[in-house]
Amino acid sequence: MRTLFRFHGGIHPDEHKLESSESPARRAPLAKKLVLPLHQHIGNGAKVAVQVGDRVLKGQMLAGAQGMISAAIHAPTSGTVTAVAPHPVPHPSRLGGLCIHLESDGEDRWIALAPLDFHAMPKSELLGKLRDAGIVGLGGATFPTHVKYGLAPGQRIDTLVINGAECEPWITTDDRLMREHAEGIVRGIEVLRHLSGAAEVLVGIEDNKPQAIAAMRAACAAAPIEVVVVPTLYPSGGEKQLIRILTGKEVPSGGRPTNIGVACNNVATAYAIHRFVDHGEPMISRQVTVTGNVRVPQNIEVLIGTPLAEVVACAEALPGTSGYILGGPMMGLHVDDLHLPMVKSANCIIAKSGQLFPPPPPAMPCIRCTRCAQACPADLQPQDLYWFAKSNNFGKTQEFHLFDCIECGACAYVCPSHIPLVQYFRFAKSEIWQREREAQSAEVARERHEFRQFRIEREKQEKAERLAQKEKAALAAKPAVPAPLPVAADPNADPDNTLQMRVDADIARANMQMRIDAAVARAKEQAAIVQPKNTDDLTPHQQAEITEIETRRAKLREIASHAGADDEPSKSN
Amino acid sequence: MLSSPFITTPGSVSQIMLRVLLALIPGIAAYVWYFGPAILVSIALASVTALATEALMLKLRNRPLKPFLSDNSALITAWLLALSIPPLAPWWMVVVGTAFGIAVAKHLYGGLGNNIFNPAMIGYAVLIISFPGHMTHWLTPHAIGLLELPFADQLNYIFHGILPAGLTLDAVTTATPLDTLKTQLHLGLSVNDIREMPIYGFLGGKGGEMVALGFAVGGIYMLAARIITWYLPLVYLAALFSIAGFFHLYDPAHYASPMFHWFSGAAMLGAFFIFTDPVGSPTTRQGKVIYAAGAALLTWLIRTFGGFPDGVAFAALLMNICVPLIDAYTQPKVFGMKGDGK
């Protein structure tokens, strides 16, 4: 028996898992139109690699990874690219994102698929292939998998943690996946074990999933993988929390699991890797729980890009449905618009009804009862964070470790005053980010301004130097011509050389005048070149309009000047 | 609600406060059993005053009446204050103390959740400083006093200040066991001699010890129902026990036993109901321990050397002041920072 560790706090909300966990997962019918957001993962959006009008095959790459932290997007079915245009995407901002629009031809024809002999290739090549297969973490954060295993020199992974905890209420996709595809998951874990070089592999599953535990144990029997049963306690499926439970180690604040020699991936990610390595299939679909106020709660295998409406239709939403939750009830996103496409992060769709999700009573003042602090898995003091966030004291929120908040919602769940604490924390975080961005751009603007001042100074100085040099050169050249003059002149006629001096001065003055004239002309010319007027390139119609306005103005000015003291010209237009 | 989490616990502030009121009932029952029903009159009077003052202040502050009148917090203030002052106190004292607590200590500081000081203890402090004479006339428990004032006469005194002909207030009331101990010690008696007096029982004062026991029962219920955490009450009682115990062992003739300190005066009421007021106590675990230990030390000091009969109220108010400081210095390490310094 392995010693398990505890994380601070945690809550026991009603599980609501049985609704959807007892029937086998189905496959959603093929949608006619699919919408594929380019940004389905943490990091840079993918870069479009197809043209509108292209015919593509199922599994063909539509957009490639861009930069280090990014992942590719593939065609979930065969068809035609009809547009690359913004479309609403599931995101808290409710803004649209750039998407590839694909019209399926109904044939669902694959590109040529080939399994991969991952043992035979260098690790860097395998990581590149995972990136190009669009493999990202399916536990919710959609962190590109290849990034987790691209270790810095000197970094080492001792323990690979596979997350099958699935602690959030209502969601059962990992549960079903483990029951039905334990073998495949274990194949995927083998790939991750190879990549990480970890000596120890632990699969953490909450004790409320006995069948999944049995299936995974059976599948792992021959492999050096240990299935560890962890007590059901939300949020034990949080990456940091699960690592703490299984290894006793804490991921340092602001750090990543690799800092303590741990890598963590979800069971669904392992399964996706198996599909890719053993069958050549990139990440084009995932399993999602559809539950809540629906007639047939169930798990459905859905192609990425399928409109959510078609996914929900499989489970038949019941009357009284008032919106949906994409994700779980603790951390999910409220969506009204079912035109949103299925994305890689979506693990659950819950139809909300007033009965299942009654609106919370109005918020009361905080009485500092600290139930939130007792429930916080990050050991924060939510009552203090709330106090500071509410009073816009963002510096203090950072001092009280706002950015260690994982937004699990445990605090708001237990709050007897029903204060929407997580909303306050998200607000404070976004305000701080916004301020940092502003400070950054102000800094850039300041630097730019300072450089401009410096440049102007420098140019002035250079000009002055140039002028002085020219002047010197001119002076040096001048005596060369009239130099013989003093010699040639009659020293008696002009003993003081006054005439000669006057002549020299005249020549110099004339020279100067010429130079000034030339400079003025040059400046005029330059001004004419570099300052195009906004009245250039006008249509004849616009030109006519301008003339008309000019005459009207002239007339007005005339009237005004006649009116004299009456300085309120009538507004004729 | 359009943002996660979409589920919450069914609990509410008013429910928590209601359970605190319920937890006070065993103590109140013992009070009625040993001292007669006069305490119920002051509780009722305080409750009505508290709700009326709360309503008036909410109105003045332009706040909605219903959610705040039904949060039961004003009733807790009222009950705690009524339990802290003599049941025979004139009606206007109950009214003044309660109204001051609610209006000044609670609402002028921003209402529920914003009061720095415990409103009931502020009410008590105002009364004991302004009307010290009235605060010393406690009812004698049944079967001890030579004379027992019938309930009708008690009511007459509370509301009209009239006693039956030929009776003085001193004849029908007594000082508290803590007060008696202090005065008798000053007169040169030893603790043991004083404890022989009829007002003393097995643990503390006769009757009073049973009331304290009732409060302890209510407190254990609150611990079991997780309305309060154990840090505060347990550390308070343990610290009081240790301090009193140390001095009692050092000089038993001059320092009362730890059990006497536990079961006399408002120690039990304080441990479970006054110091645990979440608004005015620290939020961190470590902070609660410091707060409770400080409160215990102050209670013992005021009881032993101070001029007031009991130290709980002033201990609470003095510790209330320290809360922001305690909180600031006892912030726990957050997840992922425990390895610091290694």
Decide if A332 and B8 are in contact by the 8 Å CB cutoff.
no
Same domain, A41 and A58: yes
Distance of CA A290 to the CA centre of its chain: 27
Sequence-ordered strand ranges (E) for A304-347: 321-326, 333-335
Interface of A with B in 329-368 (CB under 8 A): 329-334, 352, 357, 359-362, 364-368
Confidence class of residue B146 from pLDDT cuts 50, 70 and 90? low
Measure B213 CA to nearest chain A CA, in Å. 25
A116 falls within a domain: yes
- Cβ–Cβ < 8 Å for A5, A274: no
- Number of independent structural domains in chain A: 3
Residue-level pLDDT at A554 = 84
> Which residues of chain B does A329 touch, with a Cβ-Cβ cutoff of 8 Å?
4-7
Report the amino acid identity of residue A231: P
Decide if A325 and B331 are in contact by the 8 Å CB cutoff.
no
Same domain, A373 and A280: no
For every residue of A15-60, which 3-state class applies, written as one string?
A: CCCHHHHCCCCEECCCCCEEEEECCCCCCCCCEECCCCCCEECECC
- Among B1, B2, B3, B6, which would you mutate to test the A interface (most chain A Cβ atoms within 10 Å of its Cβ)? B6
Residue-level pLDDT at A67 = 85
Is residue B143 pLDDT above 80, yes or no?
no
The answer for residues whose C-beta is within 8 angstroms of residue B36's C-beta and 6 or more apart is B87, B139, B142, B151, B154
A4 falls within a domain: no
Same domain, A296 and A367: no
Alpha carbons within 13 angstroms on the beta-carbon side of residue B285 total 10
How many other CB atoms are there within 10 angstroms of residue A469's CB atom?
10
Residue-level pLDDT at A535 = 60
**Measured CA distances, A109 to A6, A59, B220 (Å):** 49, 9, 69
Q: Going from the first residue of chain A to its last (573 residues), give the mean pLDDT of each consecutive group of 10, the final group possibly shorter.
A: 89 93 92 92 89 93 90 94 92 84 92 90 92 90 89 88 94 95 94 92 94 94 92 94 94 90 94 94 94 94 94 92 93 90 93 91 91 94 94 91 93 94 93 90 89 91 91 78 48 57 74 81 71 62 82 81 53 44
A450: containing domain: 361-457
Q: What is the pLDDT of residues A452-491, one digit of tens each?
A: 999 999 999 999 999 999 888 888 876 555 544 444 445 4
Please say which residue of A318, A353, A388 terminates a domain.
Answer: A353
The 3-state DSSP class for residue B52 equals helix
Interface of A with B in 277-306 (CB under 8 A): none
**Element housing A265 (H / E):** strand A262-266
Same domain, A141 and A165: yes
CA geometry: angle A343, A346, A350, nearest 5 deg? 130
How would you class B29 by CB atoms within 10 Å of its CB: exposed for 0-12, middle for 13-18, buried for 19 or more?
Answer: middle
Average pLDDT over residues B130-159: 81
CA distance B181 to B197: 10
Residue-level pLDDT at B340 = 45
Same domain, A407 and A344: no
Q: What is the pLDDT of residues B235-245, one digit of tens each?
A: 999 999 999 99
- Of A400-409, B100-109, B148-157, B270-279, the poorest mean pLDDT is in B148-157
Residue-level pLDDT at B150 = 82
Same domain, A296 and A411: no
Q: What is the pLDDT of residues A349-370, one digit of tens each?
A: 999 999 999 988 889 999 999 9
Instruction: Find, among A255, A428, A412, the residue nearest to A331 by Cα.
Output: A412
What share of chain B in percent tops pLDDT 70?
97
CA distance B139 to B291: 32
Measure A55 CA to nearest chain B CA, in Å. 40
By DSSP bridging, strand A348-353 and strand B138-139 are unpaired
- Cβ–Cβ < 8 Å for B61, B111: yes
pTM of the model: 0.81
A6 falls within a domain: no
- Among A167, A247, A356, A370, which would you mutate to test the B interface (most chain B Cβ atoms within 10 Å of its Cβ)? A370
- Look up residue B103 and give its DSSP letter: I
Nearest CA in chain B to A251: B336
Decide if B334 and A327 are in contact by the 8 Å CB cutoff.
no
CA distance B3 to A423: 7
The 3-state DSSP class for residue A100 equals strand
Nearest CA in chain B to A427: B3
Nearest CA in chain A to B114: A367
Same domain, A172 and A319: yes
Same domain, A185 and A253: yes
A468 falls within a domain: no
CA distance B308 to B266: 13
A155 falls within a domain: yes
A7 falls within a domain: no
Measure A363 CA to nearest chain B CA, in Å. 10
Residue-level pLDDT at B329 = 93
Alpha carbons within 13 angstroms on the beta-carbon side of residue A64 total 7
Same domain, A365 and A347: no
A129 φ, ψ (degrees, to nearest 5):
-70, -35
A557 falls within a domain: yes
Interface of B with A in 210-269 (CB under 8 A): 229
Average pLDDT over residues B326-338: 89
Q: Within an 8 Å CB–CB cutoff, is residue B341 touching chain A? A: no
Decide if B334 and A325 are in contact by the 8 Å CB cutoff.
no
> Could you give the ipTM of this predicted complex?
0.88
> Which residues of chain B does A332 touch, with a Cβ-Cβ cutoff of 8 Å?
4, 6
Decide if A379 and B2 are in contact by the 8 Å CB cutoff.
no
Closest partner residue to A255 (CB to CB) among B2, B327, B336 is B336
> Which residues of chain B does A380 touch, with a Cβ-Cβ cutoff of 8 Å?
334-335
Angle at which helix B231-250 crosses helix B285-305, to 10 degrees, equals 40
How would you class A415 by CB atoms within 10 Å of its CB: exposed for 0-12, middle for 13-18, buried for 19 or more?
Answer: buried
Residue-level pLDDT at B342 = 35
Please say which residue of A322, A353, A384 terminates a domain.
Answer: A353
Q: What is the pLDDT of residues A196-217, one digit of tens each?
A: 999 999 999 999 999 999 999 9
Q: Within an 8 Å CB–CB cutoff, is residue B13 touching chain A? A: yes
Residue A303 β-bridge partners: A285
Decide if B7 and A7 are in contact by the 8 Å CB cutoff.
no
- Among A14, A168, A379, which would you mutate to test the B interface (most chain B Cβ atoms within 10 Å of its Cβ)? A379
Residue-level pLDDT at B157 = 85
Q: Within an 8 Å CB–CB cutoff, is residue B324 touching chain A? A: no
Confidence class of residue B145 from pLDDT cuts 50, 70 and 90? low
Q: What is the pLDDT of residues B74-91, one digit of tens each?
A: 999 999 999 999 998 999
How many other CB atoms are there within 10 angstroms of residue B56's CB atom?
14
Measure A194 CA to nearest chain B CA, in Å. 28
- Cβ–Cβ < 8 Å for B323, B280: yes
Measure B122 CA to nearest chain A CA, in Å. 18
Residue-level pLDDT at B63 = 92
Residue-level pLDDT at A569 = 43
The 3-state DSSP class for residue A321 equals strand
What CATH number did the domain enclosing A322 receive?
3.40.50.11540
Six-digit token pair at B110?
A: 């921003």
A465 falls within a domain: no
Please say which residue of A457, A480, A511 terminates a domain.
Answer: A457
Same domain, A317 and A449: no
First to last CA, chain B: 44
Residue-level pLDDT at B76 = 96
- Among A247, A357, A369, which would you mutate to test the B interface (most chain B Cβ atoms within 10 Å of its Cβ)? A369
> Which residues of chain B does A400 touch, with a Cβ-Cβ cutoff of 8 Å?
331
Measure B3 CA to nearest chain A CA, in Å. 6
- Cβ–Cβ < 8 Å for A267, A177: yes
Decide if A240 and B67 are in contact by the 8 Å CB cutoff.
no
Same domain, A560 and A441: no
Same domain, A71 and A129: yes
